[in-house]
Amino acid sequence: MSNELKLHQRLISYLLIAIPFLLITGPFLSDLAVVIICILFLFNHFIFKIKKYLKNYFFILFLFFYLTCILSSLFSEYPSISVFKSIFYIRFLILTFAIVYILENDPKFINKIFISIFICFSILIFDGFYQFIFEENIFGFMISGNRVSSFFGDELIYGSYLSKFFPIFLALFFLLKKKSLKLNLLFSFILVLSIYSITISGERSALFLILMTLAYLMIMLKLNIKILAIFFIIILTGIYSLVTLNDSIKDRMVDFTKDQILTEDKIYFFSEDHTGHYLSAIDIFKNNNMLIGIGPKNYRNYCYNNDKYKSKPFICSPHPHNTYIQVLTETGIIGFMIVSSAYLFLLFLSFKYLYFRLFKKKFIFNNIQISLFSFYIMILWPIVPTGNFFNNYLSIIYYIPIGFLIWSFNYFKNLNKTKYI
């Protein structure tokens, strides 16, 4: 390997390690890091190994979705922003394989990215509880009502950040080859505190999804069942104590939720506002190109520029607040089928794993892969309000675990799958 190639490899590795920190600052620096990673990887490796990637199922699936996004943008009423967004969406495919490349070529990368997320979690947990107790964080950012936001300021995504990185953090822990008792205890302590931090954030969706993720992991992971049960009891006891003993958390998590779903003697599965977003998106879908949709990030244009959606039961916002409804509206039936099929396939793999585990006494996936599966079980769960699917910030987080999954299946292909559990 030439010195120039080694330098590029190190730069990609350092930028990937920095991403968990950069995401805390917002989408700009993290997306800039992704662009630099893509340029370095594209011109120093990717284009020379294109045949290797063409055989990958994820590569093919992504290209179908990518082409759908471009077509829907070109044929929409508002093509300018949507076309730009769609064309440059390819960077997330390149990011995915850049991660695979670094995992294959940098033996120290796993330890370094684990340490990076460990430090991020530790700082955020300390700062979150500091803000929760003193009503301002260590930099003087005030608490937002009864919502802890830490360094995220006005962006109330503190709990969401922790919940999304939780499965990635867990997978990296399982990948570590040397784990002392001290590290096991410290890691478990950080995991428990991270879930308590999600609770004090006041983000109900993040708390629901992390509990669902924990339930999935409890069932799927090959670990001592007694240890898992104790871990789960400690978590539930802590959450219950925080919710019942703190009025601000109780108001947000319990009372406010009741007020939202019970309106005028009617029961709303989602809040009235979220229901309004969904109704707007579905109506836009039905009245436009249902096959390929209206183009990524175009929901806001179609909604805000039509007087019909300015009165109840419709409500407009930059996005519909649900992944599947947004994908259906903006990329049509084709895009919806691609995303939903990917999720159904993941569920199929999970049930297949359980079948082999229960009836064949065989583990077809290891704890690393199960942890990464849990990430997508969480973020693609259909019945929950979500962020903008095409948001740069979220897209970076969404595609990181895919890189680890692709690498793990390649790496463990010729090894005993239980080696790292």
Sorted by where each begins, the domain ranges of the chain are: 122-245
pLDDT tens-digit series, residues 94-125: 999 999 999 998 889 999 999 999 999 999 99
Tally of helices (H runs) and strands (E runs) in the chain: 18, 2
Looking at residue 419, what is its pLDDT?
Answer: 44
Please name every residue paired with 147 in a beta bridge, in sequence order, or none if there are none: 144
Task: Give yes or no for residue 290 having a pLDDT over 80.
Answer: yes
Please give the span between the terminal C-alpha atoms of the chain, in angstroms, as a whole number. Answer: 33
Q: How confident is the model at residue 420 (pLDDT cuts 50, 70, 90)?
A: very low
Looking at residue 421, what is its pLDDT?
Answer: 38
pLDDT tens-digit series, residues 332-360: 999 999 999 999 999 999 999 999 999 98
Structure tokens at 172: 């990296």
Residue 113 and residue 16 in contact, taking contact as beta carbons nearer than 8 Å:
yes
Looking at residue 1, what is its pLDDT?
Answer: 55
Count the neighbouring beta carbons within 10 Å of the beta carbon of residue 233. 10
Task: Give yes or no for residue 270 having a pLDDT over 70.
Answer: no
Q: Of the candidates 279, 286, 290, 321, which has an alpha carbon nearest to the alpha carbon of residue 75? A: 290
pLDDT tens-digit series, residues 61-104: 999 999 999 999 999 999 988 999 999 999 999 999 999 999 99
Looking at residue 162, what is its pLDDT?
Answer: 97
Task: Give yes or no for residue 417 having a pLDDT over 50.
Answer: no
pLDDT tens-digit series, residues 136-153: 999 988 887 778 999 998
Task: Tokens 């109780």: give the residue.
Answer: 250
Cα 377 off chain centre by = 10
Torsion of CA 320, 321, 323, 329, to 10 degrees: 0
For residue 204, what are the contacts with CB-CB under 8 A and spacing of at least 6? 252, 253, 257
Which secondary-structure segment (H or E) carries 263? Answer: strand 262-263
Looking at residue 320, what is its pLDDT?
Answer: 93
**What is the rounded average pLDDT of the residues 184-204?**
95
Q: Provide the H-helix boundaries in 76-108.
A: 79-87, 91-105
Q: Which residues of 213-226 are buried (b: 16+ CB within 10 A; e: fewer)?
A: bbebbeebbeeeee
Burial label for 28, CB within 10 Å (0-12, 13-18, 19+), is: exposed
Percent pLDDT > 90 in the chain is 69
Is-cis flag, bond preceding 313, omega within 30? Answer: yes
Residue 195 main-chain phi, psi, to 5 deg: -70, -35
Dump the DSSP string for 368-381. HHHHHHHHHHHHT-
Q: Of the candidates 129, 77, 51, which has an alpha carbon nearest to the alpha carbon of residue 289? A: 77
What is the C-alpha to C-alpha distance for residues 282 and 276, in angstroms, rounded to an integer? 10
Cα 339 off chain centre by = 14
Residue 167 and residue 161 in contact, taking contact as beta carbons nearer than 8 Å:
no
**What is the rounded average pLDDT of the residues 313-331?**
94
Residue 147 main-chain phi, psi, to 5 deg: -110, 120
Task: Give yes or no for residue 267 having a pLDDT over 80.
Answer: no
Q: How confident is the model at residue 312 (pLDDT cuts 50, 70, 90)?
A: confident
Please name every residue paired with 266 in a beta bridge, in sequence order, or none if there are none: 263
Q: Of the candidates 420, 411, 412, which has an alpha carbon nearest to the alpha carbon of residue 104? A: 411
**pTM beyond cutoff 0.85:** yes
For residue 190, what are the contacts with CB-CB under 8 A and spacing of at least 6? 118, 121, 122, 125
pLDDT tens-digit series, residues 205-234: 999 999 999 999 999 998 888 888 899 999
Q: Of the candidates 385, 294, 273, which has an alpha carbon nearest to the alpha carbon of residue 83? A: 294
What is the C-alpha to C-alpha distance for residues 344 and 80, in angstroms, rounded to an integer? 33
What is the C-alpha to C-alpha distance for residues 112 and 12, in angstroms, rounded to an integer? 13
Is 292 in a helix, a strand, or coil? coil
